[in-house]
């Protein structure tokens, strides 16, 4: 198909003078306009018909016009659910559509009424980590890389800085609790990891998850309280009615084996899970569960639930399902958490945070298949949540904390395998994949020891542990800096349109629910029927927004 001698000549004459010509030739060569017939599947055949696209657009418009959410009736959100796809870049979303089977598919949250973008940089870095960004989208304040629940006045690793109340940030979970809402969270990472930690912890290093790790940085664990202890002891933590996650290892001593015979990581001989149960039992009925069965059989008169289903982060969803592991999936945990919060029958409603944490972990390893599958599961959990709640009283916001370096590139044919080889080839005469990374361990599956590219057709792309090509060798693929999507459905979801700082997100949610800075009668816990928002509050909000726009 391609004349490789011609190719070599082209490469040889690749001097700067010829660069423009080379690019032109390359494009002509590899994307011939008289391409072979397209490989549209049965389902896509009608795309050849212009009317198909016109009718599609008409239907979309009809849906938009009939959508009660788009009529912008100001309404108070009784419940808020914030879904965080860790590292769920827009590229990840686009590739996940194809993973669902067809380019025309949408993930559940892409059908939400309103969409915006957020700028994710943190105070000291262009590219955010999950800790500084959690401080932004949960507390409304941008922070330093690696720090969580504190302002940028506290530098990374400042042992005592996190204890200064004037430098601590308050999360939307606290704002919700102050208005007597129920609160809880779900994640597939460790319960002490960066994203959920933003709800309850104040920490100058996100990796201080147990006392030993605090010591490693030369801090005294009796002064610098680790994140696991903060989940037991902090005031916000005490009010969480349900917490479902991984990460048992941060709660028990290294001499103690957990329910799956894995050792703890602590050095202080404490059993913080036991302490959590004892402490919460003084407030109501509390229970700890460690597997799916335990989660399924929680008594309905339980007030406080702690479910830690793995020693560390969760295994990938594909592993849970294929190996029938005794662990709940993200959507099963989401369902359990919503049911539990609804069962409290609190007329003030609830705030729930749900994180699909493994999209990020998979990207860091260049495991594109796992990343897309985790995105599919995340989308399912959101669909379930929308089904279980009413758009009249429950605001659902879906976003990501930062991007990743995965690209979805080349001119692959419609219907082509998103996880396989592209149909085109590189100037070196070798094929490439539709998905690839700017950096990561995939480098070693991309280049041989002489620095020339490996023939990528030798790999088995059905293996979810296959690392996708990467240009720069790194132990862990990095985050990306470009904006991420924000998808909103429910009361006041129209506030979320536009392109703005990530740190506005909790403020917008607080406005919708009239909590935090927008609470009207602080401490009295107003029962929330769906009454309209008072005009003076709207004015206050506009005032704040206008100061943002000026800056």
Ligand X SMILES: *[C@@H]1O[C@H](CO)[C@@H](O)[C@H](O)[C@H]1NC(C)=O
Which among 60-68, 270-278, 352-360, 440-448 is the span making contact with Zn ion, rule CB under 5 A? 352-360
Interface with Zn ion, residue 393, by CB under 5 A: no
56 contact, one of ligand X, Zn ion, none, CB 5-8 Å limit per kind? none
Q: Does residue number 360 form part of the binding site for Zn ion (CB under 5 A)?
A: yes
Cβ at position 364, least distance to Zn ion in Å: 6
Q: Which residues, at least 6 apart from 317, have a Cβ–Cβ distance to it below 8 Å?
A: 188, 329, 330, 358, 373, 374, 377
Compute the least distance from the CB of residue 407 to Zn ion, in Å.
Answer: 17
- Residue with Cβ nearer ligand X (114 or 380): 380
Which pair of structure tokens corresponds to residue 69?
Answer: 């959410």
**H or E element in which residue 398 lies:** strand 394-400
Residue 387 interaction partner, one of Zn ion, ligand X, none, beta carbon < 5-8 Å per kind: ligand X
Beta bridge partners of 473: 440
Residue 8 structure tokens: 């070599």
CB of 122 to Zn ion, least distance (A): 13
Minimum CB–partner distance for residue 453 and ligand X (Å)? 10
Spell out the residues 6+ positions from residue 542 whose beta carbon is closer than 8 angstroms to its own.
none
What 3-state class would DSSP assign to 327? coil
Query: Closest CB to Zn ion among 245 and 395?
Result: 245
Kindly tell me which of 19 and 387 has the beta carbon lying closer to ligand X.
387
Residue 102 binds which of Zn ion, ligand X, none (CB < 5-8 A, kind-dependent): none
What's the min distance (Å) between Cβ of 229 and Zn ion?
A: 24
DSSP assignments along 449-470, one per residue: TTSPBP-GGGS-TTSTTPPPPE
Residue 349 Ramachandran class (φ > 0 left, ψ -120 to 50 alpha, else beta)? left
Residue 105 binding target from ligand X, Zn ion, none, CB below 5 to 8 Å by type: none
Interaction partner, residue 68 (Zn ion, ligand X, none; CB < 5-8 Å by kind):
none
Q: Interface with Zn ion by CB under 5 A: which range of 3-11, 356-364, 444-452, 486-494?
A: 356-364
Looking at residue 117, the DSSP 8-state letter turns out to be E
Active-site annotation, residues:
130
Residue 129 or 492: the one with the smaller Cβ distance to Zn ion is 129
The option from Zn ion, ligand X, none interacting with 360 (CB < 5 to 8 A, set by class) reads: Zn ion
In 237-298, beta strands by DSSP E = 240-246, 286-289
Q: Which CB atom, from 143 or from 508, has the smaller least distance to ligand X?
A: 508
- Total residues in contact with Zn ion, by rule CB under 5 A: 1
* Residue the block writes with tokens 């262009």: 126
CA distance 524 to 519: 10
The residue (of 249 and 360) whose beta carbon lies closer to Zn ion is 360
Tokens of 548: 């943002």
Per CB under 5 A, 355 contacts Zn ion: no
Summarize as ranges the residues that interact with ligand X (CB under 6 A): 284-285, 300-301, 380, 383-384, 387, 448-450, 460, 462-463, 520, 534, 536, 540
**Inter-CA distances, 410 with 363, 434, 441, 470, Å:** 20, 6, 22, 15
Q: Which helix (DSSP H) or strand (DSSP E) does residue 517 occupy?
A: none
Q: Which of 134, 126, 252, 277 is nearest to 202 (CA)?
A: 134
Q: How far is the CB of 386 from ligand X (least distance, A)?
A: 7
Interface residues with Zn ion (CB under 5 A) are: 360
């Amino acid at each position: 198909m391609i004349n490789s001698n011609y190719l070599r000549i082209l490469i040889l004459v690749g001097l700067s003078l010829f660069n423009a010509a080379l690019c032109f030739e390359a494009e002509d060569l590899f994307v011939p306009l008289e391409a072979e017939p397209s490989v549209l599947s049965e389902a896509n055949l009608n795309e050849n018909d212009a009317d198909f696209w016109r009718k599609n657009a008409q239907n979309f418009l009809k849906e938009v016009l009939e959508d009660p959410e788009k009529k912008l009736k100001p309404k108070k959100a009784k419940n808020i659910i914030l879904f965080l796809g860790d590292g769920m870049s827009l590229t990840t979303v686009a590739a996940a559509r194809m993973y669902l089977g067809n380019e025309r598919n949408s993930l559940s949250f892409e059908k939400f009424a309103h969409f915006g973008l957020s700028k994710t940089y943190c105070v000291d870095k262009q590219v955010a980590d999950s800790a500084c960004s959690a401080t932004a989208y949960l507390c409304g304040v941008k922070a330093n890389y690696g720090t969580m629940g504190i302002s940028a006045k506290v530098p990374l690793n400042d042992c005592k800085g996190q204890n200064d109340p004037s430098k601590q940030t308050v999360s939307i979970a606290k704002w919700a609790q102050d208005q007597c809402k129920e609160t809880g969270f779900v994640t597939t990472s460790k319960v002490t990891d960066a994203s959920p930690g933003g709800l309850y912890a104040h920490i100058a290093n996100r990796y201080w998850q147990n006392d030993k790790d605090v010591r490693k940085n030369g801090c005294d664990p009796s002064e610098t309280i680790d994140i696991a202890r903060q989940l037991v002891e902090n005031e916000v933590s005490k009010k969480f009615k349900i917490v479902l996650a991984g990460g048992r290892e941060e709660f028990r001593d290294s001499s103690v084996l957990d329910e799956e015979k894995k050792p703890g990581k602590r050095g202080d001989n404490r059993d913080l899970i036991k302490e959590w149960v004892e402490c919460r039992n003084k407030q109501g009925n509390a229970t700890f569960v460690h597997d799916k069965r335990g989660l399924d059989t929680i008594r309905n008169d339980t007030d406080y639930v702690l479910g830690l289903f793995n020693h560390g982060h969760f295994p990938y969803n594909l592993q849970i399902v294929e190996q029938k592991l005794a662990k709940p999936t993200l959507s099963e945990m989401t369902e359990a958490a919503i049911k539990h919060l609804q069962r409290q029958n609190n007329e003030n409603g609830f705030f729930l945070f749900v994180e699909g944490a493994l999209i990020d972990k998979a990207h860091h390893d260049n495991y594109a298949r796992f990343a897309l599958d985790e995105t599919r599961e995340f989308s399912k959990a959101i669909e379930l949540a929308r089904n279980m709640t009413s758009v009249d009283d429950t605001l659902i916001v879906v976003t990501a904390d930062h991007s990743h370096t995965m690209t979805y590139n080349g001119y692959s044919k419609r219907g082509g395998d998103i996880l396989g080889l592209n149909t085109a080839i590189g100037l070196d005469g070798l094929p490439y994949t539709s998905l690839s990374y700017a950096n990561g361990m995939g480098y070693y599956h991309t280049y041989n020891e002489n620095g020339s590219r490996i023939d990528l057709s030798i790999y088995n792309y059905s293996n979810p542990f296959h690392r996708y090509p990467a240009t720069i060798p790194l132990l862990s693929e990095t985050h990306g800096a470009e904006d991420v999507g924000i998808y909103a459905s429910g009361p006041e979801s129209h506030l979320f349109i536009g392109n703005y700082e990530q740190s506005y997100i909790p403020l917008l949610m607080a406005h919708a629910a009239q909590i935090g800075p927008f609470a009207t009668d602080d401490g009295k816990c107003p029962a929330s029927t769906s009454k309209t928002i008072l005009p003076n509050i709207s004015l206050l909000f506009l005032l704040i927004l206008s100061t943002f726009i000026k800056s």
